[in-house]
Structure 1
Amino acid sequence: MQDVQHPPLEQFELDDLGQPAVALMLTTQQHAREFPVHEHRKGQLVVACRGGIVCTVENGVWMVPPGFGVWIPAGVSHSNRVTANGQVCFLLVEPEAAALPDQCCTLALSPVILELIFHLSAQDQAYPADSPTARLTSVLLEQLEMARCEQLYLPLPAASPLRTIAKALAQDPSNRSTIADWARQVAMSERSLARLVKSETGLTFGQWRRQWQLIVALQSLAEGETVQRTAEVLGYESVSSFISMFRKTLGASPARYVRSTGMAKTSAAPTLVR
C-alpha cells in the first residue's frame, strides 16, 4: 500500500464531525507511538496497516496485527500502543450509523473493507450526505457489519491476585510456573485460584496463560523477531512445541501467519500491563 497525503486533522477533531464515518491514517513518524487513555463520542475501529497495535481497556488487551481491527464502542476508555515504524488508521463511526457490537472485539477485515477505509482516509472528511464519498461510506459500514470476530484478546481480571500474576508474566513471559506455584505466591489455595481465574476471565488458568502467550507472540512477530527467538522469549523448550500451540490457536504456523497478515519488521515491543 502506498502512502498518500491526508487532510491535516487529528482523531479528536474527527469526533466533532457528524458524518456517518470518518477516517484518519497515521504513521509513527506523524504521531507518537503511545496514545494515552482516552475515549470518543463515536465508536472507533483501530486498524493496523503495518506493524502491530496493542489496545488496552479496563478489562482486556487486544493485539491487532495487519489486516485486523479492534472495535471500541463509543464512550469506552482505552489506550493504544503502535509498534515502531507502524502505521495505524482510525475509523470513527457515528453512534447508530451501523449495527456494530456493543462490546470491544477484534474484527477480521476483508480486502474490500480495508481499501474502503484507506480510500475514505484520503478524502475530505466533511463530505456532503449526497456525495460519492457518502455512498462509499454506506457500503463500508454495511461490509463492516458482516466482519468476523477473532479471538486475539486477553481478558485482564480485576481481582488483585490475578493482576499480580499478569504483571509478573508481562515482565517475564518465559515464566513457566504452575498454577500451584502461583497460588503459593499470592497466598491462595490452588483450587481457590483456579475458581477465581474462571470466574474473572471465563477461562481456565491454562487457557488464560496460553492466550497471554499468544498475545506476546504476536507482538514479538510484529516486531520482526524470528519464530525461534519468539519461542525462547516465551520459555518453550522447543520451537516445534511453540509452533504447535500457535497453529492450534490461530490455524496457521507463525511463519505462514506472518506472511498472510503482512507483518513488517519493527523495533520496540509494546508493554501489555501498566
Structure 2
Amino acid sequence: MHRGTTTADHQTVARPVAAMALDYKASTFEPPHAHPRAQLLHATSGVMQITTAAASWIIPPGRALWLPAFTVHDVRCRGDVSFRTLYIDEATAGVALPKQAQVIAVSDLLTELILEATALPLEYDREGRDGRVMTLILDELQRMPVLPLSLVMPADPRLRRICAALLEHPGDQSDLDRWARRAGMARRTLTRRFRAETGLGFGEWRQQLRLLEGLSRIVTGQSVTGAALDAGYHSPSAFTAAFASTLGAPPSKYRSR
C-alpha cells in the first residue's frame, strides 16, 4: 500500500484529494513556499502561525486553514505541532471550493474523516469505499463555518515592518506615536494608510493580534492570566471579555477543551 512520503507525491497523484500526516518540533519554520494544489492544514495538537503576503493566521487544534493553489505562505510552529494536511486538485474535485484563504471550524465528523484519509493509499480506489470517504470530506468542507482568526497584512513596507515586529512581540506597549517615528511616518499618515490597507484601525489590528496570541498561549498550556498578560492585555478580565465576544466561549472553557 503506497502512502507517498513527500509533498511532491501528493501534488501529482491522479486523485482529487491526497492526505498527509506531519509532525513538527517546536520553533520549526518553513520558509515561504507554495503548492500547485489547494491545501487544508488541520492542527490536531499544537499551534501553527501561517503568513502570506495578504494575512497572518493562528491555527489552534480544532481549526484548519484553507489555502488556494499557488498561495505563497510560510509556517511557524508554536511548540510541538501535529497536523494533517489535504492537497486538493480543484480542477477534478467536482465541488465549489473557497477562492480565498480562510480559517474554518472542523467538526468531529470532518476530523475523523481527515484522520481516516491519512491512512488510505495515495492511489486509493476512487469508485470504492475510499473514494466515498474523500467525496464526503469535500462535501463537509463546504459546510464548515469561517472563523475570525486572521490578521490582514498591509502591503506598504513600512507598515509591514511594524506588523512583523508586533507579531514577534505582541505584548509591546509602544503607542502609535512611537510606531510612527520608527516607521518615519506622520501619525496621521500611518493611521490613514493602515486603515486603507487592512480595513482596521491600528488599535483594532493590535487588539486582534493580542487575542490570537492569547489563544495560542492557552492552547499550548499557559494559564489564562499568564496568556492575557504576555499577549499585552492589562488584565485577565479584559482578555476574557474580548475572547468570549469573538470566539463564543470564555478562554477557560476553550482551554479545557
**TM-score (ref. length: structure 1):** 0.86
2:80 aligned to which of 74, 85, 89? 85
Q: Counterpart in 2 of 1:25? A: 21
In 2, the alpha carbon distance for the partners of 1:259 and 1:177 equals 33
What CA deviation, in whole Å up to 9, does each residue of 1:143-177 have, x standing for no partner? 11111111110111111221232133234322223
Q: Which amino acid aligns with 2:118?
A: S
In 2, the alpha carbon distance for the partners of 1:233 and 1:39 equals 32
Contact 1:18 1:94 in 2 (8 A): no
Q: Which amino acid aligns with 1:138?
A: T
Distance 1:152 1:159, change over 3 A: same
Q: Which amino acid aligns with 1:43?
A: A
Contact 1:70 1:106 in 2 (8 A): yes
Q: Which amino acid aligns with 1:68?
A: R
Contact 1:44 1:71 in 2 (8 A): yes
1:186 aligned to which of 150, 173, 183? 183
In 2, the alpha carbon distance for the partners of 1:221 and 1:12 equals 34
Q: Which sections of structure 2, spanning at least 5 residues, go unmatched? A: none
Contact 1:48 1:68 in 2 (8 A): yes
Contact 1:11 1:90 in 2 (8 A): no
In 1, the alpha carbon distance for the partners of 2:110 and 2:212 equals 24
Q: What is the number of residues matched between the two proteins? A: 255
**Structure 1 stretch displaced more, 94-103 or 173-182:** 173-182
In 2, the alpha carbon distance for the partners of 1:184 and 1:38 equals 33
Contact 1:42 1:92 in 2 (8 A): yes
Answering whether residue 238 of structure 2 is matched by residue 232 of structure 1, we say no
Q: Which amino acid aligns with 1:253?
A: P
Q: Which amino acid aligns with 1:11?
A: T
What does 1:41-80 align with in structure 2 at a 5 Å threshold? 41-80=36-75
Q: Which amino acid aligns with 1:195?
A: R
What does 1:120-135 align with in structure 2 at a 5 Å threshold? 120-135=117-132
Answering whether residue 255 of structure 2 is matched by residue 258 of structure 1, we say yes
In 1, the alpha carbon distance for the partners of 2:14 and 2:105 equals 26
Deviation at 1:123, TM superposition (A): 0.8
In 2, the alpha carbon distance for the partners of 1:77 and 1:234 equals 27
Q: Which sections of structure 1, spanning at least 5 residues, go unmatched? A: 1-5, 261-274
Q: Which amino acid aligns with 2:235?
A: S
In 2, the alpha carbon distance for the partners of 1:32 and 1:197 equals 29
> Residue 51 of structure 1 aligns to a residue in which SS?
strand
> Residue 9 of structure 1 aligns to a residue in which SS?
coil
Give every structure 1 segment of 4 or more consecutive aligned residues whose post-TM-superposition deviation is greater than 4 Å: none
Deviation at 1:32, TM superposition (A): 8.9
1:154 aligned to which of 141, 145, 151? 151
**TM-score (ref. length: structure 2):** 0.91
In 2, the alpha carbon distance for the partners of 1:85 and 1:234 equals 20
In 2, the alpha carbon distance for the partners of 1:58 and 1:247 equals 29
Q: Counterpart in 1 of 2:106? A: 109
In 2, the alpha carbon distance for the partners of 1:157 and 1:250 equals 24
RMSD: 2.1
What CA deviation, in whole Å up to 9, does each residue of 1:205-248 have, x standing for no partner? 22111111122212222322211111221232321122122222
2:213 aligned to which of 213, 216, 238? 216
Q: Which amino acid aligns with 2:54?
A: N
What CA deviation, in whole Å up to 9, does each residue of 1:82-132 have, x standing for no partner? 333321101111123131111110011111111111101111120122121
Answering whether residue 89 of structure 2 is matched by residue 94 of structure 1, we say yes
> Residue 83 of structure 1 aligns to a residue in which SS?
strand
> Residue 237 of structure 2 aligns to a residue in which SS?
helix
Deviation at 1:69, TM superposition (A): 0.6
Contact 2:211 2:239 in 1 (8 A): no
**Structure 1 stretch displaced more, 17-26 or 250-259:** 250-259
2:173 aligned to which of 171, 176, 180? 176
Deviation at 1:8, TM superposition (A): 5.0
Q: Which amino acid aligns with 2:24?
A: T
> Residue 117 of structure 1 aligns to a residue in which SS?
helix
